[in-house]
Structure 1
Amino acid sequence: MVEQPNLEYIKEISGGNEEFEKKFLSIIQTEFPKERTEYLENLENDNLEESAKVVHKIKHKLGILGLTEGYKLAIKYEEDLKYGDTKLKEEFQQILQSVEEFILKIV
């Protein structure tokens, strides 16, 4: 089964503070689509160093959304990109798609 984004970590750190949860989610909902677009544009333009920088930002959001394996993959992919290796691109794209679908559902 594919790992699915969730709100467990956000709920845990919020201590039940719904206002905090909403603000935190709002930040993710604002930043993630921009970062995803930036990543894809850099990748398309073969600017792998910049792609790696964006993956670095995205990986923290993956951890926050409970994607432990996705976070680990992002760490490896970020390093690979620095050396011109894009073999994890498809797997990373699947993770990005699952996060995109998730944040659209929680609006």
Structure 2
Amino acid sequence: MISEQPNLNYIDQLAAGDEAVKQLLVDVLKNEFPEEKIAYYESLAQKDFKLLAANVHRMKPKISILGFEKSYKLANDYERNLKDNNIEGAEAFEELLQVISSYLKTI
């Protein structure tokens, strides 16, 4: 179970009070994350471990930007497992994807 809550603290730091910059960063998250999530599930359906690992790798910066420190480690461990053709960690990672998807609908 994901115990962390997403936040925009890092985005606020990057934007340094500039609402246009903050909105731009949020828009990038809201546009790119759903596409990356679809790509993840497509590679999962294909059981393409190399592509799965690459998809997880692409999502990790967004996980970090949203303040998920523990979950970033989870994603990193999952990526490493995928490189060894091991799907351990998929359930927790997919829970994280759901938490992020729900959060992005609220911002």
Alignment-derived partner of residue 95 in structure 1:
96
Output one character per residue of 1:45-70: Cα deviation in whole Å (capped at 9) or x when no partner.
10111010010010110000000111
Letter in 1 for 2:104: I
Letter in 1 for 2:80: E
For 1:4 and 1:43, the matched residues in 2 are separated by: 26
Question: Within 5 Å, which residues of 2 pair with 1:1-107?
Answer: 2-106=3-107
* Length, aligned pairs only: 106
Structure 2 unmatched runs, 5+: none
For 1:58 and 1:96, the matched residues in 2 are separated by: 9
User: Any runs of at least 4 consecutive aligned residues in structure 1 with deviations exceeding 4 A, and if so which?
Assistant: none
CA RMSD of aligned residues (A): 0.9
- Where 1:4 maps in the other structure, the secondary structure is coil
Identity %: 35
For 1:91 and 1:35, the matched residues in 2 are separated by: 17
TM-score by length of 2: 0.96
For 2:101 and 2:49, the matched residues in 1 are separated by: 22
Tell me by how many angstroms 1:2 deviates.
1.4
TM-score by length of 1: 0.96
